[in-house]
Structure 1
Amino acid sequence: MAELQLDPAMAGLGVGGGSGVGDGSGPGRGPPSPRPAGPTPRGHSRPLAAIAQPLEPGPGPPERAGVGGAARWVRLNVGGTYFVTTRQTLGREPKSFLCRLCCQEDPELDSDKDETGAYLIDRDPTYFGPILNYLRHGKLIITKELAEEGVLEEAEFYNIASLVRLVKERIRDNENRTSQGPVKHVYRVLQCQEEELTQMVSTMSDGWKFEQLISIGSSYNYGNEDQAEFLCVVSRELIILPTALYRNRAKRQR
């Protein structure tokens, strides 16, 4: 006997009394439900179209870190040479030209920019290095190739007050050192025994420095102990004043 199999897609119509299909006892017959276009898998009560629903879009890839950090960096075109630094570095001196130009964007300091977006500054790039390094770490570093007066000129232009004071102090110290004339040393050689060495070094007069200790290499018996002897070399600076400066000081003392 042949067995009748119902299409699962027709399950929604019901079998026996629910839909009235085939017995004429129910309400009026309606048109049959449309069958899905594709094949219906066995063992499922829903069509394949209901199963294969489109997936909702998930979260996109994470944004690159540091994308917004580009605004922290500043590009400067000083006399045709490019310098790159941060706004935090230029903001160390709030009243300086660089802080007002790049950090505060003072309208009174309207500076043009080149095709790369760098601020155009018509100054000597050779002396800008010490200026920028001072803003970075707070130390004044001047190479032998640079003149201190040139650094002072740039510090005054950029209105960095603390750097101006520091450069002026260094220039003044160098002038005083030059005016004192060449520095020479006076040496003294002291002979002492081993037990006297520590006391002699610790009680040296001001200005004298220990230079060298020389062992004589001979010893003699003093009582029951051997006493070694040493030569202790000490020195101090002797400043020779130029003749003109010496005469001026002599006149003042009179």
Structure 2
Amino acid sequence: MSTTSSAASNAEDGDLKLPLDASSYNGLKSTATPIVEANAKNGTTNSSGWVRLNVGGKVFQTTRSTLMREPGSFLHRLCQDEVDLPSDRDESGAYLIDRDAEFFSPILNYLRHGKLILNPGMSEEGILAEADFYNLPILSQMLLERIHEREHSAKSPLKFVYRVLQCHEEELASVVSAMSDGWKIVQVIPIHSSYSAYSTEQQQEYLCIVERECIDKDGQIPEGQDRAKLLQQRARRNKHPSF
């Protein structure tokens, strides 16, 4: 019995059995498109929503949900409106974006964490230009505040914290040598006591005025500076009673 008649007989009996001869399937062709190939054409790496972006020649990979975290942004529309906002892709299927790759990392980290993360030495103005391009107003505001604080700090004059130390003559050398942590001696003033004339054993005492640079963001005079000046004037009056 031939293969065709055998298959027909099996069909009539309600039990369809396919022939075991592999040559019978040579004429069949698959019409299914591989999942990896289809996702690559859409700029995604797999069906879970990973997206590749080619920014200025550097490829970044992140999730679609991360890019869609800021509604109305360029990246949100890129993932949501692929038909209304067509974009060129490279040979791997990654979206091509003609922007600076160096400043895209802070953009991506902001979408991931919701905060501004900068590498040392990175220009806030450069990231601000990218934040404006990608239409991220909250990030732009963060950068504007940071730039304002930086410029304000640069314009603020240096202020000093003053301290007054009282010591005996034999302690003066050790006090001077022990100065550290940015402290500097401004002036050493001898203190003349009214009882020194009656005692030859009493040691000479001194007031040491020391200072250290201090950045005060509120623009207020550091606490202790006025008191130090008053003590300095008092010591001068003790040294020169007619002053």
Task: Give me the TM-score of the superposition, normalised by structure 2.
Answer: 0.49
TM-score using structure 1 length? 0.47
- Structure number with higher helix proportion: 2
Larger Cα-atom Rg: 1
